[in-house]
């Protein structure tokens, strides 16, 4: 029997994501909504963003009373903004929504673009967690990627963040770069071991259509590591991070001492979140929405008091089950069969029995207690496993 749509998505808490689509310079592999040389539009954008935050609360008054327990400033590079602009955004969120007493604020940053006093200012504004887009500490690779920082700036940024009081510090690390070596990955991990970092997000380089990297690869001007070498990089990274005492709690995310990304857990645990800004995504009461990625079309829509939405999808029970399964499988907790039955009014096995048995036989998932979760081999072939839960 289908669960009522409102019951299915009734939730007490939610997260808020704020997208700042500006960067000092565009990295060669990046296909995010992130643009360089738009300084003259910053004020217009902030004005639109503040409007959007308020407008959503006016149009969906039930959102105002939900407890917001995570706020995440992502990008782009949110630290391109002044402290005053960031404060204005936080104030508008506070005036419009209900923040929990322990609401956790995270901000993404690029190491080159901050100094100690700016970080101190962020901490004073209430941020306790900072996520640095380090990628690698190797200067040659950083230059190749067209990143704006170097190794020293990355190390300084992490140390300053800890000195001014950030309790949670994440860095992003990348593998699979052209000319990257296993030794570079090991050196990166050796540097991590000396720094006050308690969270790492790691991912393999993806060649996305339309990026500068895509064109260089297409023209054979750059070659990527072959599959055996990339596999070795993956193993070195995954094993090395865990040897440093980090727990792999999500397929690409590692934490020390339980310092999980509570905001990203909202996505993986199928919770509500509101996304504001160009290219931001929301999931609220069973409806997914995506905003226009481009800064001026986004701002112009809001100027006309319209939401800048380019995609909207009402999630039915079938789709909710599929999403729930593959998102839960990304985490170490996997799919809890009791939670699943309570949520969907049907047992997991009654829908996916043959899929589950097949994946167990292939050593890609394990059934332990009330949970089905990925094996290390399953984590390596995550996309294949997830696709088995989605109706073709
Ligand atoms: S800093 Fe991040 S968001 Fe900005 S261009 Fe580079 S990868 Fe993209």
Residues, the chain, total?
A: 392
27 lines ligand 1 (CB under 6 A): yes
Query: Ligand 1, from 24, 29, 34: best to mutate by most atoms within 8 Å of Cβ?
Result: 34
33 lines ligand 1 (CB under 6 A): no
- Return the ligand 1 atom nearest residue 30 CA: 8
Residue ranges in 169-293 assigned as alpha helix (H): 182-192, 212-218, 227-243, 262-268
Q: In 3D, which of 277, 286, 287, 285 has the Cα closest to residue 311?
A: 287
- Return the ligand 1 atom nearest residue 110 CA: 1
User: What's residue 11's pLDDT?
Assistant: 62
pLDDT one-digit tens code per residue, 9-24: 556 699 999 999 999 9
279 lines ligand 1 (CB under 6 A): no
pLDDT one-digit tens code per residue, 187-227: 999 999 999 999 999 999 999 999 999 999 999 999 999 99
* Distances from the Cα of 144 to the Cα of 75, 148, 179, 216, 236, angstroms: 21, 11, 10, 12, 22
In the reported structure, the alpha carbon of residue 379 is separated from the centroid of ligand 1 by a whole-number distance in angstroms of 26
In the reported structure, the alpha carbon of residue 110 is separated from the centroid of ligand 1 by a whole-number distance in angstroms of 9
| Domains of the chain with CATH codes | 9-267 (3.20.20.70), 320-392 (1.10.10.920)
pLDDT one-digit tens code per residue, 357-377: 999 999 999 999 999 999 999
Contacts (Cβ under 8 Å, ≥6 apart) of 24: 36, 77, 80, 110, 112, 113, 148
pLDDT one-digit tens code per residue, 36-55: 999 999 999 999 999 999 99
Contacts (Cβ under 8 Å, ≥6 apart) of 376: 238
In the reported structure, the alpha carbon of residue 191 is separated from the centroid of ligand 1 by a whole-number distance in angstroms of 22
Q: How many CB atoms lie within 10 A of CB 153?
A: 19
């Amino acid at each position: 029997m289908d669960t009522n749509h409102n019951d299915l998505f009734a939730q007490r808490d939610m997260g808020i994501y704020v997208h700042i689509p500006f960067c000092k310079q565009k990295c060669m592999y990046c296909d995010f909504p992130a643009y360089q040389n738009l300084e003259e539009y910053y004020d217009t954008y902030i004005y639109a963003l503040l409007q959007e935050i308020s407008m959503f609360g006016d149009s969906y008054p039930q959102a105002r009373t939900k407890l917001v327990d995570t706020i995440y400033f992502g990008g782009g590079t949110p630290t391109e903004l002044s402290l005053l602009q960031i404060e204005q955004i936080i104030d508008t969120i506070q005036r419009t929504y209900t923040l929990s007493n322990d609401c956790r604020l995270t901000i993404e940053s690029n190491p080159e673009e901050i100094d100690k006093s700016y970080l101190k200012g962020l901490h004073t504004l209430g941020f306790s967690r900072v996520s640095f887009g380090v990628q690698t500490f190797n200067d040659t690779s950083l230059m190749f990627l067209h990143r704006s920082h170097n190794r020293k700036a990355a190390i300084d940024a992490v140390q300053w963040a800890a000195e001014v009081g950030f309790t949670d510090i994440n860095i992003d690390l990348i593998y699979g770069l052209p000319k990257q070596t296993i030794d570079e990955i090991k050196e990166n991990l050796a540097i991590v071991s000396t720094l006050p970092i308690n969270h790492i997000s790691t991912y393999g380089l993806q060649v996305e259509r339309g990026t500068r990297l895509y064109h260089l690869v297409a023209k054979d001007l750059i070659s990527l590591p072959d599959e055996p070498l990339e596999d070795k990089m993956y193993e070195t990274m995954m094993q090395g991070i865990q040897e440093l005492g980090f727990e792999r709690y999500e397929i690409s995310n590692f934490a020390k001492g339980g310092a999980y990304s509570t905001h990203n857990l909202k996505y993986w645990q199928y919770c509500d979140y509101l996304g504001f800004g160009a290219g931001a995504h929301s999931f609220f009461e069973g409806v997914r929405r995506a905003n226009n990625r481009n800064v001026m079309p986004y701002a112009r829509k809001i100027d006309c008091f319209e939401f800048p939405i380019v995609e909207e999808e009402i999630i039915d029970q079938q789709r909710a089950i599929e999403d729930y399964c593959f998102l839960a499988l990304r985490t170490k907790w996997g799919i809890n069969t009791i939670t699943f039955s309570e949520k969907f009014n049907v047992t997991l096995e009654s829908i996916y029995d043959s899929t589950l048995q097949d994946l167990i036989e292939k050593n890609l998932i394990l059934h332990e207690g009330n949970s089905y979760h990925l094996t290390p081999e399953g984590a390596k072939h995550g996309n294949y496993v997830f696709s088995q839960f989605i109706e073709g």
